[in-house]
Structure 1
């Protein structure tokens, strides 16, 4: 990478899971496959959403996934393949600012999946 090249954007992706076991299995798969550098697992999330014609309320576990822009599609596909939900939530947002050393670490950890 040259001195004037812009580093690849780092993204944060969110995914809800039905329970801690699913969350841990997904997180471990994503990190071990270099699709994510780090996954935080937050329990105690209450989700209220419309499914088909009903309003549902569920206790869920939230994954906060750090990855690179070029990994977002592969990450979503892998979650879709492993997730028990018919339509799992996977939404991704660019990180526009942050600790440069941390963002470089995310890039380094996820570079092996290309």
Structure 2
């Protein structure tokens, strides 16, 4: 199976931890990393400069649609950014571990 990274952002740590924990408990992701970032974006005609929390999930491509649906269902944003990135190379032992977690 192919390993992917799924990324989204939220505006507070509680939401980030709840979304990440739900994904791990439901075995839709092998792990999730949470980090504070600064985001600059256009929203409703205004330039916003805010602190956000980025969540990066490691999962398999077969879990993408289920994970995206679960994140969407609990995401607090009106229009959340939820996207995946292909991981081109990964060490075999990590890939094996991620595949075991996601099954």
Question: TM-score normalised by the shorter chain: which range applies?
Answer: over 0.9
Structure 1 runs of 4+ off > 6 angstroms? none
The separation in 1 between residues aligned to 2:87 and 2:15, in whole angstroms, is 26
Instruction: Show structure 1 runs of 5+ residues with no match.
Output: 1-7
Aligned equivalent of 2:5: 12
Instruction: Show structure 2 runs of 5+ residues with no match.
Output: none
Structure 1 counterpart of 2:56, from 55, 64, 67: 64
Structure 2 counterpart of 1:81, from 73, 77, 80: 73
Aligned equivalent of 1:90: 82
Q: Post-superposition shift, 1:51?
A: 1.5
Q: TM-score, normalised by structure 2?
A: 0.95
Q: Post-superposition shift, 1:86?
A: 1.1
RMSD: 0.9
Q: Post-superposition shift, 1:53?
A: 1.7
The number of equivalent residue pairs is 103
Deviations 1:63-96 (A, max 9, x none): 1100010111111111110011111111101111
Higher CA-based Rg: 1
- 2:33 maps to 1:40: yes
Q: Post-superposition shift, 1:52?
A: 2.5
